[in-house]
Amino acid sequence: MRKTTASFCPVPPEQRPINEYEELKNSWFFSWGTLKLSKYIRKLAWVGFWSWLIAAPIAAASFSPARYPIQFILTSIGGAEILLALVLIRLYLGWSYIHDRLQKDRIFYEESGWYDGQTWLKPKTMLDRDRLIVLYEIKPIFIRIQKTFLTLAGLTIIGSLIWLFLG
């Protein structure tokens, strides 16, 4: 019995975009993007809190909380925002990788090592399925992360304006 192009896939299972997507979706960190909004915000607030605990002593070394309370608050929140932005960038990059693998019509894979990469053309049914996943599952995650970045940028701008008015 001959295998058809649609049923035969030479790509190793762990390198198939659909399996990579499922693995990413079920991972501890990257699943944050798939959570309900309240849980997503809670996770980011948790990261923000711990980031602030790291940034606050550094800010206190520059601006004594007793003498410059507003500068201390703005600096410590700004430092926490930097760490939170790094977490969001990592979240975005992970989902971006899977987005690209699912969106493309060809799959690059390695048979046994880095030196023997191959490319396989996806059959139309697989390509359609992958692009539907991108459209309905991954795009909303991108939109959520982008809105979070915009919120952080807005907070940074507000903090910068407050800082300017203090000076």
The total of structural domains in the chain comes to 1
Q: Does residue 5 sit within a domain?
A: no
Which spans in 66-116 are helix H?
A: 69-103
Within a domain: 2: no
Place of tokens 């008015």: 165
49: enclosing H helix or E strand: helix 37-62
Residue 32 burial by Cβ neighbours in a 10 Å radius (0-12, 13-18, 19+): buried
Residue 4 domain flag: no
Q: Is residue 8 part of a domain?
A: no
pLDDT digits (tens, 9 = 90+) for 18-72: 999 999 999 999 999 999 999 999 999 999 999 999 999 999 999 999 999 999 9
Contact 77, 45 (CB under 8 A): no
CB distance 63 to 72 below 8 Å: yes
Cα torsion 150, 155, 159, 165: sign:
positive
Residue 2 reports pLDDT greater than 50? no
Model confidence band, residue 9 (pLDDT cutoffs 50, 70, 90): confident
| The predicted structure's pLDDT at residue 114 | 66
CB atoms under 10 Å from CB of 145, counted, come to 19
Q: What is the pLDDT of residues 111-152, one digit of tens each?
A: 776 677 889 999 999 999 999 999 999 999 999 999 999 999
User: The tokens of 46 are what?
Assistant: 């948790």
Domain extent, residue 129, equals 13-166
Say which residues have a Cβ less than 8 Å from residue 84's Cβ, sequence separation at least 6: 44, 47, 48, 51, 152
pTM: 0.87
Q: Which long-range contacts (CB under 8 A, 24 or more apart) does 33-36 make?
A: 33/91, 33/95, 33/141, 33/144, 33/145, 34/137, 34/141
Question: pLDDT value at position 117?
Answer: 82
